[in-house]
Structure 1
């Protein structure tokens, strides 16, 4: 069963709630709109319960209309546009590849047109990588998102190894006696 939904100001909680409800409805094979709506509001409490009581004519309501009203109330279009813009402007910056991938995945839900196919999704991911990795992956012309993620993770690990070797070399060079000029 989905968690209780109280309403509130966090639209991501609302989106998560509705996602849980839809998963449950699919798993128990509920097809009738009226039953979907009844089951969806079964776990409403506090503000959500008050809001739901203000909605009338549920017998005639379709599931799509319920979702539309729910999102209007708890996940306004302005917030969805804000998240869409965050996705379009997303760059790796100081994030690890894994952090960037996770943020990319969660925000991509709000820009489905940008990630409508594997090639576009991969291009957007690679374009947002930092300056050290992006050219290396761009040159490979990777078309599969999971492959781009895996290669970025491998590059990051390889860069860490190279940085560690370089640091060890600097320490050895600086700590030991100089071999220059001695015979």
Structure 2
């Protein structure tokens, strides 16, 4: 995922810099390479003319080397099977966001993304959130966070009540 994060950062910087020519994009993208990546890039440039290479071809070569298709499939499978489990809503949402980029067809629009997120929520929360028919992802996340806080508060009060009840009458 480091390779994918690197490519995301590069593309963001290139957009901010308003670089339009693929040749310049590739030069800037490879400028920060070090050690193994620098050696790999040197072998690529010995075999291919960078001046004629498209950015898509560069990304294809980069991903072949540093982010294999089998790893991407594995991460997609992890996203498809992602459930909240013992994670907090915030942890689940972070993982959901991180892995969703590996299955973009599952989150093509706001409704699909929201439905996938809600379907992975903990059993205590999912029916309550689903019943609200939320179609906006950020709203579903916010409601889940609020519900989680409410559940935790109720659990604490319930435990305090049990402890108070179990203590029995004060001794004289």
Same fold (TM over 0.5): yes
* Uncovered stretches (5+) of structure 2, i.e. residues with no partner: none
Aligned partners of 1:16 and 1:42: how far apart in 2?
A: 16
* Uncovered stretches (5+) of structure 1, i.e. residues with no partner: 1-11, 179-183
Aligned partners of 2:27 and 2:169: how far apart in 1?
A: 80
Asked if 1:19 corresponds to 2:8, the answer is yes
Aligned partners of 1:20 and 1:119: how far apart in 2?
A: 27
The two structures have a TM-score, normalised by structure 2, of 0.93
Aligned partners of 1:113 and 1:24: how far apart in 2?
A: 25
Give runs of aligned pairs for residues 52-71 of structure 1, distance below 5 A.
52-55=41-44, 56-71=48-63
Asked if 1:100 corresponds to 2:92, the answer is yes
Deviation at 1:177, TM superposition (A): 2.2
Per-residue CA deviations over 1:123-179 (Å, capped at 9, x if unaligned) read 10110011111111111111111111111111111111111111121122122329x
> Deviation above 2 Å: which 4+ runs of structure 1?
none
Give runs of aligned pairs for residues 4-153 of structure 1, distance below 5 A.
12-55=1-44, 56-153=48-145
The size of the alignment, in residue pairs, is: 167
